[in-house]
Every structure is written in C-alpha cells, then in structure tokens.
C-alpha cells in the first residue's frame, strides 16, 4: 500500500463511521442472500454478516475493540429492541392468555433441559468444572447468562461466546427440525426456540411469522428470569 492510502486507511480504521457502515452493508448483503434463498435457514443473515465482517477484520488486522467503536451503535439497540417486544406481545395477548398452562409447562421443562443437558453432555466429555459452569446458562440472553456465569464461578467471556453460538445454532436448526417432525403449532415452535436460543432465536422466529416471534420473545424473557434462578442450582450437582 502506498503511503497516502495507508494514512487514509489508518484514519478511517480508527473512525466509528467505517465499521458502523460496514456492519450495515454486511447485514444487507447477508439479508439479500437470505431473501434470495427464500429465507433458507442455513443462509442466516446474522451468520453471513458475521463471516463477512470477521473476514474483513482478519484481512485488515483490525482488533475487535476498534471494530466495536463503530458497531456499538448497532449493539446498543438490543436494549430498546427488547423493550419493543412488548408491542407484538401485547397484540398477541389473547393468544398468550389462552396458552398460559402450556407456556408455563414448556418454560419449566425447556429451561431445566437446556441447563441440565448441556452440563451432562459437557461432563461426559470430561470438561473442567469451571467450563461446565460457563456452559450452564448458555440458553439465556447474554447479559443474564454472563451475570449468572460470573456468580456461579464460570468465565463470563466464555459464556458470552457460548450464548451466541447457541442462538445461531438454534436459529439454523429450528425450521428444518420442526418441519421434518411435523410440528405445525407456531406458538410451540416459537416459544421453545425463545427458551432454548434467546434473542437470536427470536429474531429468526420473527422472520417466520409474528405469532412465532411473539411467543419466542416471551420465551426468551421468561427463561432469562428462570435461568437466573435455576443455573445456580446446577452448581449443587457438580
């Protein structure tokens, strides 16, 4: 690279504008591919955008901290988006009221299974206790999971990575899995997805339909609370 170009690059590379713009463009590209494939589950827009951006960061040797200077403006919107979930939830309140018992039963079983199964599988693989504790809250939304992980003696940074992986995997697998098994109840599909795969699952559910999205958002919110209560109990079994 010539001197001037290099100077321009190092100037832009330090500015939030560049990384914010690239985040939006990478997402639009991922979303375009997702639409083009008719919302095929494997063409997940989050996954595609993340791969594009990770490639750019790797090639330009940009540290994540520099990237986040720009991306934080997008990241910040997660909070308002969580509050905004109240709107579709309110619109579907009649549907939710009629399903209170199935909701609560699925919440309890889904949440316990999400925690117990990951700890049991991790244990079978011979993972260290600290790693198991970092795994336990993986189905809860990131801030809850990291807080729980820290409180019970796990590593919050590892938990954050596991939470995101859980969300992306849940979003990828949900449609092919439930379609193949013939689950037609979008309340059940959405809710189970929200409980097991938090916000990223909820984002996927909103792509499918609003009923699934609303129930997913509800599942995410309720499981955030329940995981905070249940995950510390998992410690007793280690």
Partner 1 sequence: MIAHIAVILSFQLIGVVLSRLFLPILPGPVMGMVLCLIAFGFFPKLARATRPTAQVILSHLSLLFVPAGVGVVSHWSVLTADGPALLVAVAISTIIAMLTGALVFVGVARLTGSPH
Which of residues 5, 59, 83, 94 is near partner 1 by CB under 8 A? 83
Nearest to 41 by CA among 212, 178, 188: 178
Rounded to a whole number of angstroms, the distance between the first and last alpha carbons of the chain is 55
The size of the interface with partner 1 (CB under 8 A), counted in residues, is 116
142 binds partner 1, rule: CB under 8 A: yes
175 binds partner 1, rule: CB under 8 A: no
Stretch that binds partner 1, among 5-13, 35-43, 116-124 (CB under 8 A): 116-124
185 binds partner 1, rule: CB under 8 A: yes
Output the smallest distance, CB 182 to partner 1, in A. 11
224 binds partner 1, rule: CB under 8 A: yes
153 binds partner 1, rule: CB under 8 A: no
Distance CA 191, CA 209 (A): 12
Residue 8's alpha-carbon distances to 12, 15, 56, in angstroms, are 6, 11, 17
Reading the block at residue 76, the tokens are 């910040």
CB of 1 or CB of 181, closer to partner 1? 181
Say what the alpha-carbon torsion angle 88, 92, 93, 99 is, to the nearest 10 degrees. -130
Q: 26: Cβ–Cβ under 8 A, 6 or more apart, which residues?
A: 48, 49, 52, 53, 56
Reading the block at residue 113, the tokens are 């299974």
Geometric angle at alpha carbon 93, from 103 and 95, rounded to 5°:
60
165 binds partner 1, rule: CB under 8 A: yes
Output the smallest distance, CB 208 to partner 1, in A. 12
173 binds partner 1, rule: CB under 8 A: yes
Output the smallest distance, CB 79 to partner 1, in A. 4
Output the smallest distance, CB 4 to partner 1, in A. 29
Which of residues 162, 208, 230, 234 is near partner 1 by CB under 8 A? 162
Which of residues 18, 43, 92, 103 is near partner 1 by CB under 8 A? 103
Which of residues 29, 33, 40, 160 is near partner 1 by CB under 8 A? 160
Q: Token match 């979303």: residue?
A: 31
Q: 129: Cβ–Cβ under 8 A, 6 or more apart, which residues?
A: 238
* 22-81: contacts with partner 1 (CB under 8 A): 23-24, 26-27, 31, 44-47, 49-51, 53-54, 57, 63-64, 67-68, 71-72, 74-75, 77-81
User: How is 157-194 classified by DSSP, letter by letter?
Assistant: HHHHHHHHHHHHHHHHHHHHHHHHHT---HHHHHHHHH
Output the smallest distance, CB 40 to partner 1, in A. 14
Reading the block at residue 137, the tokens are 């809250």
Stretch that binds partner 1, among 5-13, 35-43, 88-96 (CB under 8 A): 88-96
Structure letter (DSSP) for residue 15: S
């Amino acid at each position: 690279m010539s001197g001037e170009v290099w100077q321009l690059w190092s100037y832009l590379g330090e500015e939030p504008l560049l990384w914010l713009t690239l985040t939006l463009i990478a997402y639009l590209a991922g979303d375009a591919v997702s639409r083009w494939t008719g919302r095929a589950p494997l063409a997940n827009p989050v996954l595609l955008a993340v791969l594009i951006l990770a490639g750019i960061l790797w090639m330009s040797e940009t540290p994540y901290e520099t990237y986040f200077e720009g991306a934080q403006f997008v990241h910040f919107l997660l909070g308002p988006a969580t509050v905004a979930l109240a709107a579709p939830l309110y619109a579907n309140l009649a549907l939710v009221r009629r399903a209170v018992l199935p909701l609560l039963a699925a919440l309890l079983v889904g949440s316990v299974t999400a925690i117990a199964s990951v700890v049991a599988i991790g244990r079978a693989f011979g993972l260290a206790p600290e790693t198991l504790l970092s795994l336990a809250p993986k189905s809860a939304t990131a801030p809850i999971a990291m807080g729980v992980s820290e409180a019970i003696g796990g590593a919050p940074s590892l938990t954050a990575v596991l939470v995101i992986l859980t969300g992306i995997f849940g979003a990828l697998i949900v449609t092919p899995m439930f379609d193949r098994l013939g689950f037609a109840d979008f309340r059940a599909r959405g809710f189970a997805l929200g409980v097991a795969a938090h916000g990223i699952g909820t984002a996927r559910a909103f792509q499918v339909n609003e009923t699934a999205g609303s129930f997913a958002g509800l599942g995410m919110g309720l499981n955030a609370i329940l995981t905070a209560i249940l995950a510390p109990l998992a410690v007793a079994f280690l």
